[in-house]
Amino acid sequence: MKLFDRRTLVAGALAALALNSLPAMAQGWPSAKPIRVIVPFASGGTTDVVARLIGQRLGPALNTQVVVENKAGANGIVGSEALAKSAPDGYSLVIVAPGHASNVSLYKKLPYDTLADFEPVMLLLTQPSMLVVHASVPVNSVAELLALAKSKPGVMNYASGGNGSSQHLAAAMFASMAGLDMVHVPYKGSGPAEAALLGGQVNMMFASMVTALPQVKQGRLRALAVSSEKRSTATPDLPTVAESGVSGYSAVAWAGLLAPKGTPAPIVARLNAEIAKIMASPDMKERLSGLGAEFVPNSPKDFDGFIRSEITRWADVVKRANIRVD
């Protein structure tokens, strides 16, 4: 037998063995091994909060342990790369945000293929951001903010969770559409960015409602508007940015769960089903809806289509706002 033929037979046998092991892997999942959920941002942000809320409930539901691991860096790329290189066995997951889609346009080269290297599991939530300013900033509306920023070009600044983050894109689009000259101050995650805003080190931010709303209620931040097309049920008296003078403005944050490419379909389906139950439970619905977040049941295929649409959407925003990430 020729060497080529032998190699072909061996490769075929290994491939068949791998395929045959997938059903057994799915049937034995999960075992006593803990499930790792990577949060590609610093602790304290929306993705971190959501990951821990889900982890607390998913572990008991699957009779195993769920460990949340923060791997911040490069607008989520560090954590996503770690997930892409993980074994597709159902024990490694990552929660991603809009940056997962916008990074395709922001970076010349990524260490993974955004569409080919992951298995979409579920879109966990969508949520409008809240345009907030530090309590010391002398404005009470978007109109007053626009007037102040235009009177001091290059002086007003805004925080974000990093270059190309959802907060950066939301604010850059706001400044571009309103004709403002503002300074971007990036941090390593939305948690540190919001901490800087609370400390008065920056003027404003498009912050997560999950973490910003409690600060607004305490009077430490002042809310001016929400970023969605319609008003939020959590803050019905707060206008949208669009109705406050920046016509056509809309930017909604989201969080979703991915597994490594090749994770067996039965495992992905089980994760989708169990997490859907968690997200639809009365306590989670109350916790999220009270903060403006919304969950709608969706399939892995639905989430895949959503990611593709977000890649197209943010590519247009990045081009129009001329955003560059070095």
Between 12 and 247, the more confident residue is 247
Task: Tell me the backbone φ, ψ of residue 196, rounded to 5 degrees.
Answer: -65, -40
| Per-residue model confidence (pLDDT) at position 139 | 98
User: Please, which pLDDT band fits residue 5 given cuts at 50, 70 and 90?
Assistant: low
Of 186, 181, 109, 177, which is closest to residue 321 (Cα–Cα)?
177
Residue 200 has pLDDT above 70, yes or no: yes
Kind of pairing between the strands at 221-226 and 118-134: antiparallel
CA distances from 319 to 135, 152, 169, 176, 314 (A): 33, 26, 11, 11, 8
Least confident residue range of 78-82, 95-99, 147-151, 312-316: 312-316
Whole-structure pTM value: 0.78
Is 291 in contact with 209 (CB distance < 8 Å)? yes
pLDDT of 13 reads 47
For the residues 54-60, what does the mean pLDDT come to? Answer: 96
Total residue count of the chain as it appears in this document: 326
Residue 2 pLDDT greater than 60, yes or no: no
User: What pLDDT does residue 4 have?
Assistant: 43
In eight-state DSSP terms, residue 124 is: E
pLDDT band at 42 (very low <50, low <70, confident <90, very high): confident
3-state DSSP: the chain helix, strand, coil percent, rounded to 5?
45, 20, 35
The amino acid at 288: L
pLDDT at position 19? 47
pLDDT digits (tens, 9 = 90+) for 205-223: 999 887 888 999 999 999 9
Domains and CATH numbers, the chain: 31-126+253-321 (3.40.190.150), 128-252 (3.40.190.10)
Among 248-252, 276-280, 288-292, 312-316, where is mean pLDDT lowest?
288-292
